A and B are shown apart, each in its own frame.
Chain A
Amino acid sequence: MIITDEIIDYVSSLARLDLSVEEKTKIKGEIEKIIDYMDVLNTLNTTGVEPMSHVLPVTNVFREDIVAASVPREEILANAPEVDHGAFRVPKTVE
């Protein structure tokens, strides 16, 4: 599959990555290789094979509805860029 510059731009914007021209060229080649590798799967005959939705043969892994203590707020906020009145302070975000 041919990975165009537009695809690279789109994917990097989705991932919020600001890439240089050199990086884009490098990544373009790498993504092409990954996609080509995936194409190998398409050469296999999968007739009669159930689509898989999980790699492990386990289902219904549940926990009981019981409350346990949360983590102290200082720890939750430890990596916050800025803190104000116990909240994470981030650049203005209005949808």
Chain B
Amino acid sequence: MSEIKYETVIGLEVHTELATASKIFCSCTTEFGGEPNTHCCPICTGMPGVLPVLNQKVVEFGIAVGLATDSEITPYGKFDRKNYFYPDLPKAFQISQLYLPICRNGVVAIEGEGFQKNIRIHEIHMEEDAGKLIHDPIFDTTHADYNRCGVPLLEIVSEPDFRSAEEVIAYLETLKAILQYLGVSDCKMQEGSLRADVNLSVRPLGQAEFGTRTEMKNINSFRSIARAIAAERKRQIELIEDGGKVIQQTRRWDDAKGVSYAMRSKEDAQDYRYFPEPDLSPVVISEEWQEEIRKGLPMLPKERKAKYMEGYGLSPYDAGIITGIKALADYFDEVNAIVGQPQEVANWLLGDFMRLAKAGEGDTFEILLSPAKLADIILMVKTNVINRNTAKEVFAAVWQEDLDPKQYVEEHDLAMVGDGDLIKDTVAKVLAANPKTVAEFKAGKEKVLGFLVGQCMKELKGKADPGTVNTLLREALK
């Protein structure tokens, strides 16, 4: 590569499937999966003569997301038809919003290592999801399953405000937290309920105008987003350095191969022939309706983080990670309500807990241990029933099957020896067996005390408070 430094410019189109019970224009369930074509009716399969009716909850969710992103809510909105022939959409058009989307001009504040900035939201619109196509390589045919057809989506379109993959991921994590806090989507990337298309261009650093951009589709994890961005940036720069030109096109990301392929260029871009949807009435959102929804908004990640810092004395880092995942913050609250030691609870959640919760595939986050049981472990440490090392061991053992930690400690005889005499006897025994070390200690070599503590702990099978052992050792060595 030459001396020129390049800047990456990225804009995102995020599609999020809404957590309504029924579809956007009919009463079929939105449940994920199911046998092919069993969540379908004449409306979502586009039979002639049917009439769609808008699910009110979709509008309410749209308003809530708009308010949470400081967007302007469109007082008089409507739907439009986007026409195209593709077997994932049996109607041959998608009902979407082009001219008067539900929200405009929002903002999402993001932060990460070395950056803190506002990402502007261009617009948010409501639309219906398409069906799922599965390619059959044996018969060289395509199978169409329309269960997902008509599941409500919000498409959140950002301005081209990102300059790195780190910013993109910070934004997606922030957005995901907001959507989960609002309860409007479960945001499971692996199930496709949160999807992002990446618009990317490069330009020499300092150049004011944007380069030609490409759009990458089919990216379904945070990890692949970072990889796709790095690969596309490299591809565009190499193209330019070789004297070529970036062509405006849509590309499909192949995560297994780590490369993207051109799908279609601007020249053969589809002509969607948008026109106002005649089957749906306009949507009027009054100030009163907005206010009603604003009053019902839950505490959002930003406020909750502030509460954890000011109310519980957690560091911005700890508070940020815990409140960044709603399920984790809820868990924190439940455990802390029982034990009343916020920093201790935070330490637990940010250690092995995090690793185990993220052990599943992709971006999954799954808590298998109920909060009362972690509270039991913390309380056993607090009341000196077990020491910290044993606590970690118990935690790892009970996690998977949500076992009762108290019972586990009992069954495995892990409770500490409260009996001072037994510890004293052990200390005497260890001292008698290590005369050389004792002499060293008495000669001023303080360090060797650790070894003696270790020997005592070993003798007591780890079931003693190391602090007590330490004290008793010192007393005996006087």
Contacts and interface: CB of A to CB of B under 8 A. Distances in A.
A14 B273 contact: yes
Interface string A55-89: 11011111111111011010011000010111111
A39 to B, nearest CB: 19
B145 interface: yes
Contacts of B45: 76
B54 A63 contact: yes
A77 B35 CA distance: 13
A70 B144 contact: no
Contacts of A59: 281-284
Given A59-B283, A62-B54, A77-B37, A85 B142 contact: no
A54 B86 contact: no
A89 B284 CA distance: 41
Interface string A26-61: 000000000000000000000000000111101111
A76 B263 contact: no
- Tell me which of A76, A77, A86, A95 has the highest count of chain B C-beta atoms within 10 A of its own C-beta: A76
B36 to A, nearest CB: 4
A61 B141 contact: no
A16 B283 contact: no
Contacts of A53: 78, 100, 276, 282
B39 A60 contact: no
A76 B142 contact: no
Nearest to A52: B276
B21 A67 contact: yes
A86 B38 contact: yes
Given A61-B53, A68-B27, A86 B263 contact: no
A65 B21 contact: yes
Secondary structure type dominating chain B contacts: loop
B37 A76 contact: yes
B297 interface: no
A92 B142 contact: yes
A90 interface: yes
Interface in B46-72: 53-57, 59
A63 B45 CA distance: 19
Contacts of B281: 54, 56, 58-61
21 contacts: A14-B83, A53-B78, A54-B78, A59-B281, A59-B282, A60-B284, A62-B56, A63-B56, A64-B55, A64-B56, A66-B22, A66-B27, A67-B22, A67-B29, A68-B28, A71-B42, A82-B141, A86-B37, A89-B141, A89-B142, A91-B142
